């Protein structure tokens, strides 16, 4: 078979560690460490704890795979679910601009869990991560902008991405990888409606995508069959979930274009759609030494995707909803000149932020919308209390590949994430960092954090 799904899965089945360029492998390590920090930071959240409790009730109390939420061992599927929920909780996990897809939260957890259960090497894990990223990003791009208006791409493309990562660890050949893709794709789900209610569904999206992908790969290894054209077939994902799908995106540049390198780190602890405007406003307040009381109005000039995702969040009542509120994010930038975890924890009760939120509007900008999703341009217009009109613009938000985080910055971010709400000790975080930096020389993937002795949460 030579259709796009088959071409993609054949490439992934044949992919070997030695074929992957060194910069791609090093970036995979960077992204893994970044994700481990997000898992720890999200581990104490109520929604994440609830999913972890489900795993403890339904699954084994011990097992080979590391659950960073409970700091215990369990089966691969329940470790993947808990860790995936945690990875996506505090809005610090990575994002790929062109696909508007968060690869790490759905690729890293099942790949880690399965590697630990199978005694795979660090190189095996890195290869699986690369495969998952290449698949998930390309599928997200293939599904297009129309898909994202209704569907949370991380949930939908996430299951196939997880399946391809797990398929590599299970040593699936091209035929079985295609079956795994079919079984994962038919389980793809995730809708944006939860934003209107501030519901917990976003964590369920990543948890189930990770678990469903692992299941699809495991079944395929035992000759369970799946649709051969689940992506582009007449009754496949694109047919039901997209109006602008482009099958060429699935295979373009395979082996020469490494999509993983295009992935961005998240600098602010909020929805990525807020970041360009946040960086643009930060440039204005720094250049003109403005405080929150100096600003009468802010217009954020945005792409349609930002309006679709952020628009429903009018009066955020929770910390997590606040991360999807443009007014809240820009208020934190205006008041604190940063929008980190602690700032968001304080935001719902902060009257200054609530007042500022009412002074922020989003406006569709043709230039910004035309560049999206390949480029996420940030533009704001600021009116000050003393009557000035100021403009800010950022063409490359902090964390994008052309304005990326270097390893000392990643380490600093991970230490902050890991210490959030006493998730892990400083010593445990330092040890975790070293385990990731030496992963390529590790013969057998083990735990990244100790399972015992986790500090009590306040």
The position carrying tokens 């649709």 is 227
Tokens at 126, concatenated: 């890195």
At residue 317, the 3 state secondary structure works out as coil
At residue 35, the 3 state secondary structure works out as helix
Q: For position 457, what pLDDT does the model report? A: 41
CB 106 within 8 A of CB 85: no
Which residue(s) pair with 364 in the sheet? 302
d(CA 158, CA 136): 6
Mean pLDDT by 10 residues, the chain (458 residues): 93 98 98 98 97 95 95 97 98 97 98 98 98 98 97 98 98 98 98 93 98 98 98 98 98 97 97 97 98 98 96 92 97 97 96 97 98 96 98 97 97 97 96 98 96 51
Q: For position 360, what pLDDT does the model report? A: 98
- CB-count burial class (<10 Å; 0-12, 13-18, 19+) for 402: exposed
Residues 6+ apart with CB under 8 A from 233: 227, 239
Residues 6+ apart with CB under 8 A from 380: 277, 280, 281, 284, 298, 299, 300, 301, 330, 391, 392, 393
Tokens at 221, concatenated: 């290894």
* Predicted model pTM: 0.95
- Side-chain half-sphere of 171: how many Cα atoms within 13 Å? 2
CB 196 within 8 A of CB 174: no
Q: For position 61, what pLDDT does the model report? A: 87
Query: In whole angstroms, what separates CA 91 from the centre of its chain?
Result: 8
Q: What is the DSSP letter of 455?
A: P
Q: For position 2, what pLDDT does the model report? A: 87
- Side-chain half-sphere of 314: how many Cα atoms within 13 Å? 2
Residues 6+ apart with CB under 8 A from 26: none
DSSP E strand boundaries for 294-338 = 295-302
Closest CA to 216 of 179, 169, 175, 174: 179
Closest CA to 191 of 161, 242, 149, 231: 149
CB 141 within 8 A of CB 257: no
CA distances from 1 to 134, 172, 229, 248, 268 (A): 20, 17, 10, 16, 44
> Phi, psi (5° rounding) for residue 150?
-115, -40
CA dihedral angle for residue 299, residue 302, residue 306, residue 311, rounded to 10 degrees: 30
Q: For position 1, what pLDDT does the model report? A: 65
Tokens at 104, concatenated: 């790490």
């Amino acid at each position: 078979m030579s259709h796009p799904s088959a071409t993609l899965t054949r490439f992934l089945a044949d992919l070997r560690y030695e074929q992957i360029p060194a910069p791609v492998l090093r970036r995979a390590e960077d992204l893994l460490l970044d994700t481990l920090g997000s898992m720890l930071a999200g581990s104490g959240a109520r929604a994440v704890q609830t999913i972890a409790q489900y795993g403890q009730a339904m699954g084994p109390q011990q097992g080979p795979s590391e659950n960073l939420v409970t700091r215990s061992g369990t089966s691969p599927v329940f470790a993947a679910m808990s860790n995936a929920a945690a990875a996506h909780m505090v809005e610090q996990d990575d994002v790929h601009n062109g696909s508007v897809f968060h690869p790490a939260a759905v690729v890293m957890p099942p790949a880690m869990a399965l590697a630990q259960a199978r005694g795979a090497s660090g190189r095996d894990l890195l290869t699986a991560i690369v495969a998952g990223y290449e698949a998930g990003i390309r599928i997200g791009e293939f599904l297009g902008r129309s898909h994202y208006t209704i569907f949370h791409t991380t949930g939908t493309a996430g299951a196939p991405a997880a399946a391809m990562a797990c398929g590599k660890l299970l040593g699936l050949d091209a035929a079985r990888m295609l079956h795994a893709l079919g079984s994962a794709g038919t389980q793809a789900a995730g809708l944006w409606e939860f934003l209107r209610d501030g519901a917990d569904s976003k964590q369920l999206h990543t948890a189930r995508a990770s678990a469903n992908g692992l299941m699809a790969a495991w079944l395929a290894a035992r000759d369970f069959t799946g649709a051969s054209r689940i992506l582009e077939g007449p009754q496949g994902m694109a047919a039901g979930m997209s109006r602008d799908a482009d099958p060429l995106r699935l295979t373009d540049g395979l082996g020469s274009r490494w999509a993983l390198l295009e992935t961005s780190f998240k600098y602010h602890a909020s929805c990525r759609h807020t970041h360009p405007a946040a960086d643009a406003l930060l440039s204005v307040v720094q250049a003109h030494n403005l405080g929150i009381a100096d600003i009468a109005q802010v217009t954020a000039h945005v792409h349609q995707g930002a309006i679709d995702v952020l628009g429903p969040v009018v009066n955020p009542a929770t910390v997590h909803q606040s991360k999807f509120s443009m007014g809240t994010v820009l208020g934190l930038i205006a008041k604190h000149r940063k929008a980190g975890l602690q700032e968001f924890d304080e935001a719902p009760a902060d009257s200054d932020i609530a007042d500022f939120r009412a002074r922020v509007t989003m406006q569709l900008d043709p230039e910004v919308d035309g560049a999206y999703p390949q480029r996420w341009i940030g533009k704001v217009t600021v009116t000050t209390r003393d009557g000035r009109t100021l403009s800010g613009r950022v063409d490359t938000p902090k964390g994008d590949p052309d304005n990326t985080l270097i390893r000392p910055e990643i380490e600093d971010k991970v230490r902050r994430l890991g210490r959030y709400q006493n998730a892990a000790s400083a010593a445990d975080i330092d040890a975790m960092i070293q385990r990731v930096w030496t992963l390529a020389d590790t013969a057998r993937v083990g735990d990244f954090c100790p399972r015992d002795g986790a500090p009590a949460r306040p």
